[in-house]
Structure 1
């Protein structure tokens, strides 16, 4: 498909620069047989007893580092852990970097370049007495470029750009649909008879970027590591067999569940990499309802939501959201998507 089909105009003032306060005060656009303007606190009543809500419990690490190679200033963004203290990262400037170069950061953290790759990507080894502790002190939260911070990420972003149930460090971008949940909202959802389940997908830096290829067939997805535990898979299959729906809290949870699903829709235990790329025409197997934020034009995530409810319906929903002042992107509002024919 032509990538241009997934383009749309968005006024810059619709891009949220800070989250709703409190988190669950965000607005919620319900996209079913018709559009309905609701709020995140209405979510328990929009789901059914017996449904299963699946969240991504990855934890965002402070992956953005500023340091020096000799006298030259360097900006490093970690984007994928290869194992231990070995990482793939993007470097700026990268042109003069060589294997064996050492980059010094604050708080006793340094890095040795182990491989020079294409398009500013490098492989490196982090070095410190306690690497994880030093990274927590030296790094900054890897906010997307459309969240503008002239002086870099604020201290509040360490809290705001993290879900309340974040547990497993490894993501370099937040599973943003999850940012709307508070402990009180999660309790209300469970009190409504909806079971809460956790999976882990370490979200990569390329997740939210626009597709540069002119045709979606020419786009290469970066892989991300994920895990679905055996007990979680069994519980989700049991919920569906009893008539419940699987509700994915975010595109990252959806992509992982679809990667773990058999052709008949059964979810299997899964641990490994996935590079699933979902565009219109894809047959969804594991997920029945999707909670998600509003996404960038020409992004793989807008293509995914267009596949889930139809491109025309999604464009109409976005037109409505712009006209009604919804806030877009990572710190923005949410929408709850039901495929055509679902009575919600």
Structure 2
């Protein structure tokens, strides 16, 4: 299984830099093994069944991109910081550009009175200690930080105030992600109300999406790729909801690859699910045996990415090629702010 098996040509014009307004107005490609339909996200209540369980990732994206400066001997250097993950001792792992311009122990100054000291560096990443903690840190970060837009959007435009709303789900609750669970961005309150009225049920789980979600696969033999780890939690309530749905023959439909990866991480070899918490580096590629997932709502993914491998595992490589060819020919919008799909294996 080669990396080139998951490649495709995508016209630049199909990369979305802003979401649809309203969110639920996005197009929705509905694919089964034999059929492809062009619908919109607002059609979800007609496409889902009474009793279907949607699994939603309630992680909350932090404004993780900071622009500041360090001063030394009267010389000022601009420094860009992207927070990656907090550590148990209250420091943060981060990407610092240019890291070579900052010495260990030096301070980086940002807006809103926020300041960080570089404690150490490891494998191209930095460990930073901030001058504020808890709510004071959250408040300063909200003022000084920008939303960490994916590289393919950030290369086209800078993040702005609108992104603080657009790049956050309406049910975001648990702070910690540095990238959005993008399939969930299509949901708004009117759509959620219509789904509830249809009898669709919801389970909330948490997977803090890391910047590693955008890292390219660098090995030709995809089976040797090492996934980045992300922290997640399946609560007792969510596990009970999923267990009941499976026992009653109702469909479990994760919204997004993050929710899918988490519930499959929490599944036993026998297909049982229990409360779960920890870091997962689960890598799903063709040949994977799904224990919990019956269908998937997901956006359109980057060529040669682990997420292309995941949807290929669910639908089959040839079927995914057909789906993506149809999406490109039909001018679907791609990636984080783009359109979505409902995959029914």
1:321 to 310, 327, 332: 327
Are positions 1:296 and 2:306 aligned together? no
Shift of 1:87: 1.0
Q: Which residue of 2 aligns with 1:109?
A: 114
Contact kept, 8 Å, 1:89 with 1:123, in 2: the verdict is: yes
Aligned length: 338
Q: Which residue of 2 aligns with 1:53?
A: 54
Rounded to whole Å, the distance in 2 between the matches of 1:57 and 1:221 is: 22
Deviations 1:262-301 (A, max 9, x none): 1122211011100111111100111111000000001111
Q: Which residue of 1 aligns with 2:132?
A: 128
TM-score, normalisation: structure 2: 0.95
Deviations 1:197-250 (A, max 9, x none): 100000000113331222213322111000110111011111111110100000
Rounded to whole Å, the distance in 2 between the matches of 1:150 and 1:106 is: 24
Q: Which residue of 1 aligns with 2:98?
A: 93
Deviations 1:312-340 (A, max 9, x none): 1011100000000100000000000111x
Shift of 1:99: 2.4
Q: Which residue of 2 aligns with 1:342?
A: none
Q: Which residue of 1 aligns with 2:15?
A: 15
Q: Which residue of 1 aligns with 2:223?
A: 217
Shift of 1:150: 6.1
TM-score, normalisation: structure 1: 0.95
Q: Which residue of 1 aligns with 2:44?
A: 43
Distance 1:173 1:335, change over 3 A: same
Gaps of 5+ in 1: 340-344
Q: Which residue of 2 aligns with 1:189?
A: 195
Distance 1:318 1:102, change over 3 A: same
Q: Which residue of 2 aligns with 1:144?
A: 150
List structure 1 runs of 4+ shifted beyond 6 angstroms: none
Q: Which residue of 1 aligns with 2:267?
A: 261
Rounded to whole Å, the distance in 2 between the matches of 1:11 and 1:239 is: 40
DSSP 3-state at the match of 1:265:
coil
Q: Which residue of 1 aligns with 2:312?
A: 306
DSSP 3-state at the match of 1:185:
helix
DSSP 3-state at the match of 1:141:
coil
DSSP 3-state at the match of 2:336:
coil
Contact kept, 8 Å, 2:91 with 2:128, in 1: the verdict is: yes
Rounded to whole Å, the distance in 1 between the matches of 2:14 and 2:263 is: 31
